Amino acid sequence: MAIIRKPEKKKVVKLHQHSILNIGTITFGIVFVYLLIYLVMYLTNDRITAYEVTAGSLSGNYRYTAIALKSEELITCSEAGPIHYYVREGSKVGVGSGVYSIGAIDLAGSTTEEDLAELDDSSYNSLRSIASTFAGNYSPISYQDVYNFKADAQTAMIELLSKNILDSTEQGVSAGLNLIPSAEAGIVVYSTDGMEDLNAEEITLDMYSRKNYSRENLRMKETVSAGDVVYKLITSEEWSLVIPLDKQTAMELADSNMVRFRFMEDGSAFNADFSIIQNGSDYFGKLDISNSVIRFAGDRFVEIELLLNRQSGLKIPNTAIAEKVFYRIPKEYVTENEQTENEITLRKETYDTDGSAVVRIVTATVYDKTDTDYYVDTSLFEEGDYVLMKDSSKRYQISDTKTLTGVYNINKGYPIFREITILDENEEYCIVESNSAYGLAQYDQIALDASAVRDDGTLEE
């Protein structure tokens, strides 16, 4: 007989379900929402851009293209014919020295091997120097330099080969050369530009553009006619450089009678007598020099840089500068804080609701002071308020103000006005006095844009 068993009943145990909204979740949610709101406010609110104050000086652009004015004399020939030069450009010649000859010659063809053998190393070095200078300064857009190099090389060769012949005019004539001597001593230049007689009072700004400037190379002519200009002679070491100036720089240099400058070509620096010239509404600076003319004998335009002694101090951008109005308080109504130099204590008289006078002690920050007065923030008083003298019945009514120039210091995270004394400035930056009692110090953080800060130190909306 089969035994039938009844199925056993299984006991089901229900687990307790915890609520999601417990104290931990609620706390985390509140913190998360707070951080999210703070982040949105931080990203959308205006903030002060900081600038770190550094020490230095202004580095203005004082590089100029100058027009060179020299004592230049044009030398003409009295007869026609083929011309040959015997002196290199930029060389000095004395009175009676042979510079050129008129007529056909074959100096190179009559030169013997013995003549060439007599050329020493210095002679060859002279030729190498001419070739090296041309190669170093070569530019494919300045083809005129090729002609100058050719003429310099030919003149150098003739000068070397005819060295013995050119010792005197008489020897040159006896050798069959129609050698023309120089009537004056000076520096030889083989180009003209029509500006030889120009003076400083005739210079205009258009001349610096060089649009209409041209220079004629006299050595390009193989044959000349009577009366043609054959070379130019610079007869004095005294010369001038004229530079264009804007009105601000002209005013800055108005009291200067001497400046220091540098030639950009080689960096050499010299002092020069200086004067301001006004041609119409344009200003020019004239530098009078008594050296180096031989180095720039053939140049009409010379690149220079003025080396001005600029003030040094704390360098800040002009955008950080602001002006703010302050009340004047006489010193006799002030109690100085011995612990903090830039704080004072005042006894301010106010009136209660019943009309009775009440004296309140006010601590004020000092923004500037003189031998007789302190200057404090206008937010501490209303015009017409009184301050009392200590241990006296005397009262001073607030009324006088002074406008100070300064910047907003943000070292503490909020703007605090600090007075500055400007020593020098240009279009972008200014140099201010350092280590003043109520001013700035190196590495201070200031607001880059003062216009973004209200008078009360808060940001503009």
Q: What is the pLDDT of residue 383?
A: 81
Q: Mark whether 349 and 404 lie in a shared domain.
A: yes
Which residues, including other chains, have CB under 8 Å from residue 263's CB and lie 6 or more apart?
269, 270, 292, 295, 302, 303, 304
State both tokens at 241.
């450089």
Q: Mark whether 211 and 80 lie in a shared domain.
A: yes
Does 79 fall in a domain?
yes
How many residues belong to the chain?
461
Q: Mark whether 301 and 321 lie in a shared domain.
A: no
Q: Mark whether 174 and 293 lie in a shared domain.
A: yes
Q: Mark whether 224 and 87 lie in a shared domain.
A: yes
DSSP string, 8-37: PPPPP-PPPPPPS--HHHHHHHHHHHHHHH
Helix, strand, or coil (residue 154):
helix
| Single residue among 286, 306, 326 that ends a domain in this structure | 306
CA distance 286 to 273: 8
Q: Mark whether 354 and 394 lie in a shared domain.
A: yes
Question: Among residues of the chain, what percentage have pLDDT more than 70?
Answer: 75
Q: Mark whether 300 and 345 lie in a shared domain.
A: no
Q: Mark whether 250 and 290 lie in a shared domain.
A: yes
Question: Among residues of the chain, what percentage have pLDDT more than 90?
Answer: 36
CA distance 140 to 145: 9
Helices 121-137, 144-161: axis angle to 10 degrees equals 180
Does 341 fall in a domain?
yes
> What are the backbone angles phi and psi of residue 134, rounded to the nearest 5°?
-65, -45
Q: What is the pLDDT of residue 266?
A: 87
356-386 pLDDT tens trace: 778 888 888 888 888 899 999 988 888 888 8
Read off the pLDDT band of 23 (50, 70, 90): confident
Q: Mark whether 80 and 182 lie in a shared domain.
A: yes
| 418 pLDDT more than 60 | yes
**Is the Cβ–Cβ distance between 388 and 394 less than 8 Å?**
yes
Q: Mark whether 90 and 229 lie in a shared domain.
A: yes
For the chain, the 3-state helix, strand and coil shares in percent, each to the nearest 5, are 25, 35, 40
Domain of residue 88: give its range: 64-107+162-306
**Is the Cβ–Cβ distance between 425 and 249 less than 8 Å?**
no
425-441 pLDDT tens trace: 877 889 998 877 778 88
Does 122 fall in a domain?
no
Does 287 fall in a domain?
yes
What are the C-alpha distances in Å from 444 to residues 164, 309, 413, 441, 459?
75, 26, 12, 6, 19
The helix or strand, by DSSP H or E, that contains position 241, with its residue range, turns out to be strand 239-245
**Is the Cβ–Cβ distance between 58 and 214 less than 8 Å?**
no
Beta strands in 296-390 (DSSP E): 301-306, 312-317, 322-330, 335-336, 343-351, 357-365, 368-369, 373-377, 386-388
Q: Mark whether 329 and 275 lie in a shared domain.
A: no
**Is the Cβ–Cβ distance between 324 and 313 less than 8 Å?**
no
Classify residue 281 by its DSSP letter. Answer: T
**Is the Cβ–Cβ distance between 70 and 197 less than 8 Å?**
no
Does 130 fall in a domain?
no
Q: What is the pLDDT of residue 58?
A: 75
Does 385 fall in a domain?
yes
Does 15 fall in a domain?
no
Read off the pLDDT band of 290 (50, 70, 90): very high
| Single residue among 267, 285, 306 that ends a domain in this structure | 306
Helix, strand, or coil (residue 421):
coil
Q: What is the pLDDT of residue 172?
A: 42
| Single residue among 249, 273, 306 that ends a domain in this structure | 306
Which residues, including other chains, have CB under 8 Å from residue 453's CB and lie 6 or more apart?
48, 322, 408, 415, 447, 459, 460
Domain with 213 in it: what CATH number? Answer: 2.40.50.100
Q: Mark whether 333 and 289 lie in a shared domain.
A: no
Q: What is the pLDDT of residue 112?
A: 47
pTM: 0.57
* Overall domain count for the chain: 2
What totals of helices (H) and strands (E) does the chain contain, helices first? Answer: 6, 32
Does 190 fall in a domain?
yes
155-193 pLDDT tens trace: 666 555 555 444 444 444 434 566 788 999 999 999 999
